[in-house]
Amino acid sequence: MYVIAGLGNPGKKYENTRHNMGFITVDQLAIKHDIKVDKLKFKALVGEGRIAGQKVLLVKPQTYMNLSGESIRQVMHFYKLDPEKLIVIYDDIDIELGALRIRKFGSAGTHNGMKSVVYQLQSDRFPRIRIGIGSQKKGDLVDFVIGGFSKEEVPVLEETVTKAVSAIECILEEDVDIAMNRYNTKKARPKKEEHE
């Protein structure tokens, strides 16, 4: 069994904000695979189903972002799962808007939700999918991450969420390496002039 956890903040106020890209991705995955994420358990909204032949538990921690790890630790301990059976999806201000980064393991970086997960599990050996929200705007970072999307951002992020859903399916069906090769997006190189 795999646990697929999207990080975010509960409540209407945060519903469509940059910091909730993890929740938004889990919601899209749930819709696509007809999984209801509506049971309150492990301080999270959870839903069981099957994706790519694998049994999965979709998890949206309801603890607020900075305590996400408490919920995920409870899930992992209850099912006695190794960290490799966890996939975490979250927003990342250090990646340009709309880019996708999949990694097998690694540090939490600057993300407080991920810091909580790594701390609670006492491990960083689990795959994660980061959705770039960029931080082009100077000013208060908190206001930026819990702010809504601009009109221009919506289509870009919708496409990235669709890619993230495909990447999760790929990890479950094939493996993380294949998903990394297929879905990690590089920065677009400026096109060379034709007369060069």
Computed over its alpha carbons, how large is the radius of gyration of the chain? 16
> Catalytic residue at 111?
no
How many Å apart are CA 105 and CA 180, to the nearest integer? 12
Looking from the CA of 78 toward its CB, the CA atoms found within 13 Å total: 13
- Residue 184 marked ligand-binding: no
Asked if residue 14 belongs to a known ligand binding site, the reply is yes
CA 89 from chain centre, in angstroms, equals 1
Q: Among residues 19, 33, 77, 195, which one is catalytic? A: 19
Indicate the annotated binding residues for tRNA.
14, 64, 66, 112
* Catalytic residue ranges: 19
